[in-house]
C-alpha cells in the first residue's frame, strides 16, 4: 500500500476525531455560558441595600433590595432598583463591584447623592452600614461576611472538583489526534523529502511537549486556566502547523525543484516553526503578567501612540503592492515582518482603555477622531481585511459597553461609507469586489482564486482526499489566503466545519469570561480579543467560500505567516491571563492611598 492510499484511509480517523473534539469543546462552552448567564441574573450573595423610613429612634427598615454586579438606582423602568419618587432622578446612581469592592457614584454630577451625609460626585467605596441618600430616599448598604465566606468556599470546592475533569477526556483525544497526524506526516516525508524529517520531528516533538506541559502547568500559574479555550486554540494551531509543513515539504512540485529552492523550503518551515515555538514560550510569561499586574492598563497611552506609528511605518517601508495589492510586509534582514498584525492588538488595548466604562460624549468623540486616523491609514495601505476586522470589533465592544444603539448604527453607516470610499479610490479593492460579483458568471483573473478554491472544496467532499492528496499548486496563495480550501480538499468539509466550531468555542469562552470578570477594562479587552479572532476567521472563510470578497486576511493559527501566528499567540496569552484574574491577587502598578487603589470614574464597570 503506497503513501497516498494510507493518507486516504487515515482521513476517516482524522475526521472522526476532529468532529468529536470540536463537539466536546462546543458543548462545554455552551453549557458554561448558559450557566453564567443564569447566574448573572441573580443578585450577589451577601450584599444588599435596606430601605429606611424615618429618622433617629423612629427609623425602621422597610425592605431589603438585592444588589447585582452593576446596579442602577432611579425612578425609570430600566433601573435595576426602581425608587418611585419625584425627588430621585430617572437614572440617579450606580453601585458596581470593582476589584472585590463595591463603589457608588452618581450617573451625572448634577444629581445630588449623599453618602453618610456628605455629597459625592466621584466613585466612592462602600463600607458596611454606610447610609446612602437619593432625594428623600434613605438606603443602608449591608455586607454579610458570613454569606460571602460560604459562597467563596463553595466556589473553591466546585473549582477543585470540576476544574480539570470535564476537559480531561478532550485532552486525551487531542493527543491521539496529534499523534496520529504527526506519524502520518513523518511517514510521508521520505525519499527526496528525507532532508526535512529531522527539522519536522524536532518541531512536532517540541510542540507536543509544550502542549502537554502547559496543560497541567498553566492551571497552577493562572488558577484557573480556561481549558476549553486552551484546547480549542491548540487544536487549531497543531493542525495549522501540519498544514504548513505539508505546503513546504509535501508539494507535488518538490521533485522539479533545484537544491537551492529545496533549502528555501526548509527555511520556510523553520520560520513558521520558530514563530510557533516563540508564541508558546511567551504565552505563560505574558499570561502571568496579565493576571498578576495592571501593566496592560498602564500601556494604554503607549498603544495610543504606537498604533498609528506601526501603520505609518508599514506605509513607508512596506512592500507587496505589486504582488498582493497592499504594502503590508517589511523586510528586516532576511525576515519579512507584518507590523499591522501587532497594530491590531495595540488597537484593542486602546479600545478597552476608552470603553472600560460608559464614557462621556466628549471622550467618545476623542476616540472616534483617533480611530478615524487609524482607518484612514489602513485604507492607504490598503488593508481591507484589517479595516473590516477592527470595525466589527469596535462595533461589538462599543454596543456592549455603552448600550448606545443609535450611535452604533451611525458607526456602522460610517464604516459603509468608508468601504465605498475605498472602492472609489483603490483599484485593488475594485478588482476584488468586481471578481466577487462576477463569481458565478465567468472566470477571470480577478476571481480565479475563489473559483479554484471552491473547486478544491467540492473535490474534498465530506471526508476529503487525504493529507497531501490534494492539488493546492493550482490555487494562488494556497498556504495563506486560501488555506481553508486546501483543508477542506484534503480533510473534508467536516474538518473544515470543526475548525469553525473551535473558533466559536473560543468566542463563547471569551463571552463567558466577559461576564465573569469584575472590571470594565478586563471585560472590554477580553471581548475585543475573542471577537477579533472570530471576526478574522469568519471573514477569511467567507471569502474563500464566496460569501464575501477576498480581503487578504489570514486564518488565525492555520495560515502561513510568522507575524500573524506570533501576534495571535500574544493575544490569546493576554486573554488567558485576563480570564484568570482574581481580585485579591492582582498587583496594582499605580499610586495608592493606604493600600487602596486610587479610583477614578473610568475604573467602574
More confident: 169 or 78: 169
3-state secondary structure of 311: helix
Which helix (H) or strand (E) element contains residue 49?
A: strand 47-53
According to the model, what pLDDT value does residue 449 have? Answer: 87
Q: Sorting pLDDT into bands at 50, 70 and 90, what band is 153?
A: low
Which pLDDT tens digit goes with each residue over 283-304? 999 999 999 888 999 999 999 9
Residue 163 contacts residue 215 (beta carbons within 8 Å): no
Q: What does DSSP say about strands 131-134 and 101-106: parallel, antiparallel, or unpaired?
A: unpaired
Written out in words, the top-level CATH class of the domain with range 47-143 is mainly beta
- Best-predicted range by mean pLDDT (171-175, 337-341, 376-380, 551-555): 171-175
Determine phi and psi for 60, rounding to 5 degrees: -145, 150
CA triple 490-495-496, angle to 5 deg: 85
Domain ranges of the chain: 3-37+155-586, 47-143
Residue 597 contacts residue 532 (beta carbons within 8 Å): no
Residues contacting 400, CB < 8 A, separation 6+: 514, 527
Whole-number Å distance between alpha carbons of 383 and 593: 46
Residues contacting 109, CB < 8 A, separation 6+: 121
3-state secondary structure of 145: helix
Q: Among 149-158, 450-459, 548-557, which stretch is predicted with the lowest mean pLDDT?
A: 149-158
Whole-number Å distance between alpha carbons of 259 and 193: 12
Determine phi and psi for 82, rounding to 5 degrees: -95, 125
According to the model, what pLDDT value does residue 159 have? Answer: 47
Residues contacting 131, CB < 8 A, separation 6+: 52, 114, 115, 116, 117, 138, 139, 140
Which pLDDT tens digit goes with each residue over 161-213? 444 556 788 999 999 999 999 999 999 887 777 778 888 899 999 999 999 99
Whole-number Å distance between alpha carbons of 292 and 539: 34
3-state secondary structure of 592: strand
Residues contacting 122, CB < 8 A, separation 6+: 105, 599, 600, 601
| Residues paired with residue 329 on neighbouring β-strands, in sequence order | 319
Q: Sorting pLDDT into bands at 50, 70 and 90, what band is 232?
A: very high
Count how many Cα atoms sit within 13 Å of the Cα of residue 361 in the half-sphere of its side chain.
2
Which pLDDT tens digit goes with each residue over 559-568? 988 899 999 9
Exposure letters 293-321 (e unless 16+ CB within 10 A, then b): ebebbeebeebbebbbebbeebbeebebe
How many of the other CB atoms lie within 10 Å of CB of 454?
Answer: 18
- Best-predicted range by mean pLDDT (128-132, 247-251, 319-323, 501-505): 501-505
Q: Among 41-50, 58-67, 153-162, 375-384, which stretch is predicted with the lowest mean pLDDT?
A: 153-162
Residues contacting 519, CB < 8 A, separation 6+: 98, 99, 356, 603, 605
First to last CA, the chain: 63
For the cut 80, the answer to whether the pLDDT of residue 137 exceeds it is yes
According to the model, what pLDDT value does residue 258 have? Answer: 53
The mean pLDDT value for 6-34 works out to 93
Q: What does DSSP say about strands 81-82 and 70-74: parallel, antiparallel, or unpaired?
A: parallel
3-state secondary structure of 66: strand
Which pLDDT tens digit goes with each residue over 245-254? 988 777 655 5
Q: pTM of the predicted model, to two decimals?
A: 0.83
More confident: 256 or 236: 236
Q: Sorting pLDDT into bands at 50, 70 and 90, what band is 44?
A: confident
According to the model, what pLDDT value does residue 565 have? Answer: 94
According to the model, what pLDDT value does residue 597 have? Answer: 36
According to the model, what pLDDT value does residue 525 have? Answer: 95
According to the model, what pLDDT value does residue 161 have? Answer: 40
Residue spans of beta strands (DSSP E) within 224-334: 330-332
Which helix (H) or strand (E) element contains residue 576?
A: helix 562-579
Residue 589 contacts residue 294 (beta carbons within 8 Å): yes
The mean pLDDT value for 269-276 works out to 89
Measured between alpha carbons, how far is residue 387 from residues 316, 327, 333, 394 in Å? 19, 14, 29, 10
Q: Sorting pLDDT into bands at 50, 70 and 90, what band is 360?
A: confident
10 Å CB burial of residue 335 (0-12, 13-18, 19+) is: exposed
More confident: 322 or 531: 531
**Average model confidence (pLDDT) across the chain:** 83
Whole-number Å distance between alpha carbons of 188 and 202: 16
Amino acid at each position: 500500500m503506497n503513501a497516498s492510499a494510507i493518507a486516504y484511509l487515515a482521513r476517516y480517523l482524522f475526521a472522526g476525531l476532529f468532529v468529536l473534539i470540536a463537539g466536546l469543546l462546543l458543548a462545554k462552552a455552551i453549557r458554561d455560558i448558559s450557566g453564567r448567564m443564569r447566574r448573572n441574573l441573580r443578585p450577589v450573595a451577601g450584599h444588599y441595600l435596606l430601605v429606611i423610613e424615618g429618622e433617629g429612634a423612629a427609623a425602621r427598615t422597610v425592605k431589603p433590595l438585592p444588589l447585582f454586579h452593576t446596579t442602577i438606582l432611579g425612578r425609570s423602568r430600566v433601573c435595576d432598583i426602581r425608587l418611585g419618587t419625584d425627588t430621585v432622578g430617572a437614572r440617579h446612581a450606580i453601585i458596581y463591584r470593582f476589584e472585590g469592592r463595591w463603589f457608588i457614584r452618581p450617573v451625572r454630577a448634577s444629581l445630588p447623592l449623599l453618602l453618610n451625609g456628605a455629597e459625592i460626585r466621584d466613585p466612592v467605596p462602600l463600607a458596611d452600614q454606610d447610609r446612602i441618600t437619593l432625594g428623600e430616599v434613605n438606603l443602608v448598604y449591608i455586607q454579610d461576611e458570613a454569606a460571602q465566606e460560604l459562597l467563596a468556599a463553595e466556589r473553591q470546592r466546585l473549582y477543585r472538583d470540576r476544574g480539570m475533569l470535564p476537559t480531561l477526556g478532550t485532552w486525551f483525544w487531542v493527543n491521539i489526534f496529534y499523534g496520529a497526524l504527526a506519524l502520518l506526516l513523518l511517514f510521508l516525508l521520505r525519499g527526496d523529502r528525507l532532508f526535512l524529517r529531522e527539522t519536522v520531528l524536532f518541531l512536532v516533538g517540541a510542540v507536543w511537549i509544550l502542549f502537554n506541559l502547559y496543560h497541567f502547568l498553566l492551571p497552577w500559574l493562572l488558577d484557573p486556566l480556561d481549558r476549553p479555550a486552551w484546547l480549542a486554540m491548540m487544536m487549531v494551531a497543531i493542525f495549522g502547523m501540519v498544514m504548513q509543513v505539508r505546503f513546504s515539504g509535501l508539494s507535488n512540485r518538490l521533485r522539479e525543484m533545484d537544491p537551492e529552492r529545496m533549502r528555501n523550503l526548509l527555511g520556510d518551515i523553520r520560520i513558521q516553526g520558530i514563530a510557533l515555538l516563540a508564541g508558546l514560550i511567551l504565552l505563560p510569561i505574558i499570561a502571568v503578567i496579565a493576571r498578576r499586574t495592571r501593566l496592560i492598563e498602564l500601556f494604554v497611552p503607549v498603544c495610543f501612540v504606537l498604533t498609528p506609528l506601526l501603520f505609518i511605518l508599514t506605509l513607508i517601508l512596506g512592500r507587496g503592492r505589486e504582488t498582493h495589492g497592499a504594502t503590508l510586509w517589511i523586510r528586516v534582514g532576511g525576515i519579512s515582518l507584518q507590523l499591522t498584525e501587532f497594530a491590531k492588538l495595540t488597537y484593542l488595548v486602546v479600545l478597552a482603555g476608552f470603553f472600560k466604562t460608559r464614557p462621556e460624549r466628549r471622550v467618545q468623540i476623542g476616540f472616534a477622531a483617533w480611530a478615524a486616523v487609524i482607518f484612514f491609514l489602513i485604507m492607504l495601505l490598503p488593508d481591507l481585511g484589517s479595516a473590516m476586522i477592527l470595525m466589527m470589533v469596535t462595533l461589538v465592544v462599543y454596543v456592549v459597553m455603552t448600550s448606545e444603539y443609535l450611535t452604533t448604527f451611525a458607526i456602522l453607516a460610517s464604516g459603509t461609507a468608508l468601504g465605498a470610499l475605498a472602492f472609489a479610490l483603490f483599484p485593488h479593492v475594485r478588482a476584488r469586489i468586481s471578481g466577487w460579483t462576477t463569481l458565478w458568471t465567468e472566470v477571470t483573473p480577478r476571481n480565479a482564486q475563489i473559483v479554484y478554491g471552491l473547486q478544491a472544496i467540492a473535490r474534498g467532499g465530506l471526508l476529503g482526499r487525504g493529507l497531501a492528496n490534494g492539488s493546492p499548486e493550482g490555487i494562488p496563495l494556497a498556504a495563506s489566503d486560501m488555506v481553508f480550501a486546501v483543508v477542506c480538499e484534503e480533510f473534508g468539509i467536516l474538518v473544515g466545519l470543526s475548525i469553525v466550531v473551535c473558533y466559536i468555542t473560543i468566542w463563547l469562552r471569551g463571552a463567558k469570561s466577559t461576564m465573569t470578570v469584575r472590571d470594565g477594562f478586563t471585560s472590554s479587552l477580553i471581548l475585543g480579543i475573542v471577537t477579533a479572532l472570530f471576526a478574522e476567521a469568519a471573514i477569511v472563510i467567507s471569502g474563500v467560500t464566496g460569501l464575501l470578497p477576498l480581503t487578504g486576511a489570514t486564518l488565525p493559527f492555520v495560515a502561513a505567516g510568522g507575524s500573524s501566528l506570533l501576534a495571535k499567540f500574544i493575544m490569546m496569552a493576554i486573554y488567558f491571563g485576563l480570564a484568570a484574574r482574581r481580585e485579591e491577587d492582582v498587583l496594582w502598578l499605580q499610586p495608592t492611598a493606604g493600600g487602596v487603589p486610587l479610583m477614578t470614574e473610568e475604573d467602574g464597570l
